[in-house]
């Protein structure tokens, strides 16, 4: 915080306000404000104070409402900030167009079109757009913040996914795209980095920045509208050549690339580089996709057929719509989800859900579950084909039955601790407030200590 910041502009960090909502009467004397507090006259709350092209603070009017926490990402056209909406009190993502990109230009028009498209798509598998903000020559899109990461980070961490998990993610992506395709929108940049996850584990399609909307539907038009845009290794053959008749089937090709990557841990084609449109076009036109059975021989034959149809070189040989792909996918998911028939009919087969519930009860028998144990439970739920929301409801039910603090309470406390320990440290005053709050919430000292230590360790690993 700058020396000239005014005391009345200070605001308690989100973690402490969350603790206050949990029942802790947090007064000013409980923890004095320090120069390291996140809120301060709209400045970036980052230790290194990195420079953003043309900006280290938000423009004046935006700075009155939004308070920057950190940079989530930056590209050639703009920067995405994690900000706190000071009016509502929630964390949101603010995508700000760089200075120098003039209003009315092609980039600016696509930027506004992105907000218009996503704003019209009220769908659980599409990132929510709240509003568009303007200030002088600055334009920004305010959207929901999804802290659970992207498919790209999940693949980087795990390499490949279980078949049922990959198919469910694809189902969510196709559902979101179906809503977009119904209003004639082609996304044109479907890739793992643009698939985000909400706290319930649902995939959400993001970034309609290069989406195509036909001119007759009110879309941006220009000489470069059909120039190949996007990430070449995820682009369809027709997108790579700049076909003006490109439609939603192009996005289905991108979905095929992603499905192969989720199942096999690699792209379906081998490239010398991953940057040029020319090389990508040459590869996809002269080579067939890799055989997924070489690395995953246990895949269901219908999954292999799904891949083949999504990655058909000619659009006419693919599914003709995202809805058609969903009609093929849904019975496949249902069938893979079914437990295999028993060779011994009189033998009792424990369902995946029942098995997971038994493990949870064993872990909670002493009244607590550590954050690493909960993360491992969620990983095993995925392997067993149990949806994250089902696993979460199981723990919530067990906690109710055993008279333990609710899962909502535990998760809220964990969120607060992670925010306070974001730099890998918890000060004495932080610990005192956390200890008092945890006792009011009925969280044992042992469980509190496990949560605190896990948050500090993960903060140091960032």
Catalytic option among 189, 207, 251, 452? 189
**What is the rounded CA–CA span in Å between residue 28 and residue 331?**
57
Angular region, 278: left φ>0, alpha ψ -120 to 50, beta rest: alpha
Helix (H) / strand (E) element for 168: namely: helix 163-182
Would you say 51 and 27 are in contact if contact means Cβ atoms under 8 Å apart?
Answer: no
Beta-bridged to residue 141, according to DSSP, are 95, 132
How far does the chain reach from its first CA to its final CA, in angstroms? 23
Which tokens go with 381? 């739920």
Active site (annotated) includes residue 300: no
* Residue 242 dihedral angles phi and psi, to the nearest 5°: 75, 35
* Residue 120 dihedral angles phi and psi, to the nearest 5°: -85, -15
Which tokens go with 200? 């319930």
- What letter does residue 275 receive in the DSSP assignment? S
Beta-bridged to residue 132, according to DSSP, are 141
Q: Identify the CA nearest to 173 among candidates 259, 112, 236, 47.
A: 259
Residues in the chain: 462
Q: No. of H helices and E strands in the chain?
A: 16, 7
**What is the rounded CA–CA span in Å between residue 462 and residue 453?**
15
**What is the rounded CA–CA span in Å between residue 117 and residue 123?**
12
Beta-bridged to residue 80, according to DSSP, are 73, 95
**What is the rounded CA–CA span in Å between residue 307 and residue 106?**
35
* Helix extents (H) in 183-294: 237-240, 249-264, 277-286
Residues annotated as catalytic (active site), given as ranges:
189
């Amino acid at each position: 915080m700058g020396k000239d910041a005014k005391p009345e502009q200070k605001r308690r960090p989100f973690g402490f306000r969350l603790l206050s909502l949990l029942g802790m009467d947090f007064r000013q004397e409980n923890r004095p404000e320090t120069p390291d507090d996140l809120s301060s006259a709209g400045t970036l709350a980052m230790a290194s104070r990195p420079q953003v092209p043309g900006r280290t603070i938000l423009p004046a009017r935006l700075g009155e409402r939004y308070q920057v926490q950190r940079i989530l990402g930056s590209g050639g056209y703009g920067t995405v900030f994690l900000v706190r909406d000071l009016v509502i009190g929630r964390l949101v993502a603010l995508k700000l167009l760089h200075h120098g990109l003039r209003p009315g230009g092609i980039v600016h028009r696509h930027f506004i079109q992105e907000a218009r498209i996503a704003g019209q798509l009220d769908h659980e598998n599409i990132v929510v757009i709240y509003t568009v903000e303007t200030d002088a020559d600055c334009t920004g899109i305010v959207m929901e913040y999804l802290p659970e990461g992207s498919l790209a980070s999940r693949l980087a961490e795990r390499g490949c996914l279980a078949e049922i998990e990959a198919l469910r993610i694809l189902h969510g992506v196709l559902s979101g795209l179906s809503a977009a395709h119904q209003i004639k929108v082609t996304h044109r940049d479907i890739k793992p980095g643009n698939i985000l996850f909400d706290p319930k584990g649902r995939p959400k399609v993001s970034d309609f920045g290069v989406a195509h909307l036909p001119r007759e539907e009110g879309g941006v038009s220009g000489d470069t509208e059909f120039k190949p845009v996007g990430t070449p290794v995820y682009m369809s053959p027709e997108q790579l050549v700049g076909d003006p008749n490109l439609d939603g089937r192009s996005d289905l090709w991108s979905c095929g690339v992603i499905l192969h990557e989720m199942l096999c841990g690699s792209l379906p084609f081998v490239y010398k580089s991953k940057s040029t449109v020319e090389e990508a076009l040459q590869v996809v036109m002269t080579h067939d996709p890799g055989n997924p059975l070489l690395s995953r021989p246990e895949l269901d034959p219908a999954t292999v057929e799904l891949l083949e149809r999504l990655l058909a070189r000619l659009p006419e040989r693919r599914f003709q719509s995202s809805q058609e792909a969903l009609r093929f996918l849904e019975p496949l998911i249902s069938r893979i989800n079914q437990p295999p028939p028993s060779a011994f009919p009189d033998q009792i087969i424990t369902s995946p859900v029942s098995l997971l519930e038994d493990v949870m009860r064993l872990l909670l028998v002493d009244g607590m579950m550590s954050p690493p144990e909960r993360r491992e439970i969620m990983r095993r739920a995925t392997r067993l084909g149990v949806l994250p929301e089902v696993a979460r409801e199981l723990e919530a039910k067990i906690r109710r039955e055993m008279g333990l603090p609710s899962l909502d309470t535990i998760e809220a406390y964990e969120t607060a601790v992670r925010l306070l320990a974001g730099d890998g440290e918890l000060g004495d005053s932080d610990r005192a407030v956390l200890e008092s709050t945890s006792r009011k919430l009925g969280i044992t000292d042992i469980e509190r200590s496990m949560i605190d230590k896990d948050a500090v360790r993960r903060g140091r690993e960032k």
